[in-house]
């Protein structure tokens, strides 16, 4: 059984906050590649940003997600990923029409169940790494709703609930042992 669990879905749906909640009891987590890329590119004056060079951004996110998977092999138990390879490949495919999902994601690198944060306009907010509007986030969510099952993953929608309740939901949904 694959121990690598993706938390994906709508941008601004509370995924990063949920990952922080899962870190508290000691689970291994992997931060979203996109946020790390934006932080690095802004700090060094780079242009591989979704609003400057989206294709370069997506390609860098794929490379980072592949590296994240390699590094996570040594972790024990469940490892929770804030987005990851499939999200990055789906974005590149959307931008270029390239068959990035098949090329990069056909080997099913993650646990069979992927947890998707639904659109939640009440908590959606812009920040330095999230400059797009809610309509763009909704379009992204729709692409991901199709991408994961096309690769054989089971979609599990997260409830619109407190962060603690969402974490409990994930842990109750997963098999007891990783």
The pLDDT score that the predictor gives to residue 153 is: 95
Q: What is the pLDDT of residues 58-68, one digit of tens each?
A: 999 999 999 99
pTM metric for this prediction = 0.89
Rounded mean pLDDT of the chain? 87
Helices of type H across the chain: 15-23, 33-44, 54-72, 85-96, 100-105, 134-150, 163-173
Q: How confident is the model at residue 131 (pLDDT cuts 50, 70, 90)?
A: low
Place of tokens 């979704």: 50
Read off the DSSP letter of residue 69: H
Rounded distance between C-alpha atoms, residue 11 and residue 117, angstroms: 8
Domains and CATH numbers, the chain: 4-173 (3.40.50.300)
The pLDDT score that the predictor gives to residue 129 is: 57
């Amino acid at each position: 059984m694959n121990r690598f669990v993706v938390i994906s879905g709508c941008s601004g749906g509370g995924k990063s906050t949920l990952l922080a909640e899962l870190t508290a009891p000691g689970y291994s987590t992997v931060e979203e590649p996109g946020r790390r890329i934006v932080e690095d590119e802004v700090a060094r004056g780079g242009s591989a940003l979704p609003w400057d060079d989206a294709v370069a951004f997506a390609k860098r996110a794929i490379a980072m997600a592949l590296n994240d998977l390699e590094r996570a092999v040594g972790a024990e138990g469940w490892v929770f990923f804030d987005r990851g390879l499939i999200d990055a490949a789906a974005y590149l495919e959307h931008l270029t029409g390239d068959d990035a999902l098949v090329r990069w994601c056909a080997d099913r690198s993650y646990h069979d169940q992927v947890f998707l944060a639904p659109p939640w306009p009440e908590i959606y907010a812009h920040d330095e790494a999230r400059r797009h509007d809610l309509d763009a986030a909704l379009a992204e969510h729709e692409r991901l709703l199709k991408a994961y099952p096309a690769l054989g993953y089971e979609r599990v929608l997260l409830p619109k609930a407190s962060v603690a309740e969402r974490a409990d939901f994930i842990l109750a949904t997963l098999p007891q042992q990783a």
